[in-house]
Amino acid sequence: MKFLKTLFALFAVLILSVGFGETAEKVKVGIVGESDEEIWAPVVKKLAAEGIEIELVNFSDYTLPNAALDAGEIDLNAFQHYNYLNNESKTHGYRISAIGDTYLSAMCVYSKKIKSVKDLKKGDKVAIPNDAVNTGRALVVLQGTGLIGLRAVENRLYETTDIASNPLEIEIVPVDAAQVPSILPDVAAGVINGNYALDFGLSPAKDSIFYDDLSFYKDKGYVNVIAARTKDLDSELCKRVVRAYQSDEVKKVYQEYFEGSYLPAWR
């Protein structure tokens, strides 16, 4: 009987030791911005009931969570869309992959000086994020406003050199994505990522002067994901985290706390 008890205990440990090279009792998830803490609250609660502790690790900007994940400092991250993940992996050689879709984050235009993009004047400055992926997306949004036109490109992200028409000669001001909200007083307008807008107290539904639209995009490259190290793709623990996230409880958080900011991207 003692032998059977010992064998059972060892079997239980083996069940917990799936993925990430350690027991499944604790999972570190990298996020960027305070808003994601609210989104992950029901996931943390659900998995805690299953004996899994989720520790949210909040990074200060987009350049850090993928490096931390690749290095094994965290187990998962959830802050980026497919285009950003693919570009980061290609640029830095990260061995990380998407394991589940989360949401499409509205990337809108905001201003402290004007009420509509139609109020922009010749030579006005518009701030956009300066990293390659978000620069490309911001340009797509600005094209949606009608302020600029972009030439067709194949198999790469848009760059400022792809602006084919700019009737008002708008001056594009690239800055760190997290800094766009804080420099709004110094520019005519800014294109701001959804999480940074929320952290700065801006509501996409109420405060933007131009709202993002799914019709601007030809694929789901800007759908956000949960990412893991590629070697952990088949981990049952990864799948449990994704299932806990892709739930009605998380959809409810989107609706109640982030009006117009996030749209569920899973089916």
The residues spanned by each domain of the chain are 12-104+221-264, 108-211
Determine how β-strand 76-81 pairs with β-strand 149-150. unpaired
pLDDT class of 211 with cuts at 50, 70, 90: very high
Mean pLDDT of the chain: 89
Instruction: Check residue 20 and give its pLDDT.
Output: 57
pLDDT tens by residue, 115-128: 999 999 999 999 99
- Among 134, 112, 121, 122, smallest CA distance to 184 is for 112
Edge-to-edge strand order for the sheet containing 262-264?
53-59, 26-32, 76-81, 223-229, 96-105, 262-264
Determine the average pLDDT of the residues in 216-229.
Answer: 91
With left for phi above 0 and alpha for psi between -120 and 50, is residue 107 left, alpha or beta?
beta
108-211 shares the fold of 12-104+221-264: yes
Confirm if 28 and 69 have CB atoms less than 8 A apart. Answer: no
Burial of 152 (0-12, 13-18, 19+ CB in 10 A): exposed
Q: Which of 9-18, 191-200, 234-243 has the lowest mean pLDDT?
A: 9-18
Instruction: Check residue 29 and give its pLDDT.
Output: 98
Give bridge partners of residue 56 from the DSSP assignment.
29
pLDDT at 222 over 50: yes
The Cβ of residue 98 has, within 10 Å, a number of other Cβ atoms equal to 19
The Cβ of residue 199 has, within 10 Å, a number of other Cβ atoms equal to 17
Burial of 64 (0-12, 13-18, 19+ CB in 10 A): middle
CATH of span 108-211: 3.40.190.10
Structure tokens, 188: 């005519």
pLDDT at 157 over 60: yes
| DSSP secondary structure letters along 210-229 | B---GGG-SSSTTEEEEEEE
27 to 74, 88, 239: CA distances (angstroms): 8, 23, 13
Instruction: Check residue 40 and give its pLDDT.
Output: 97
Determine the average pLDDT of the residues in 94-100.
Answer: 97
Residue % of the chain over a pLDDT of 70: 91
Confirm if 81 and 225 have CB atoms less than 8 A apart. Answer: yes
For the chain, report the end-to-end CA distance as a whole number of angstroms. Answer: 48
**12-104+221-264, what's its fold?**
D-Maltodextrin-Binding Protein; domain 2 (3.40.190)
User: Rounded to two decimals, what is the model's pTM?
Assistant: 0.70
Report how far residue 26's alpha carbon sits from residue 218's, in angstroms, rounded to the nearest whole number: 38
Instruction: Check residue 226 and give its pLDDT.
Output: 98
Determine the average pLDDT of the residues in 183-205.
Answer: 93
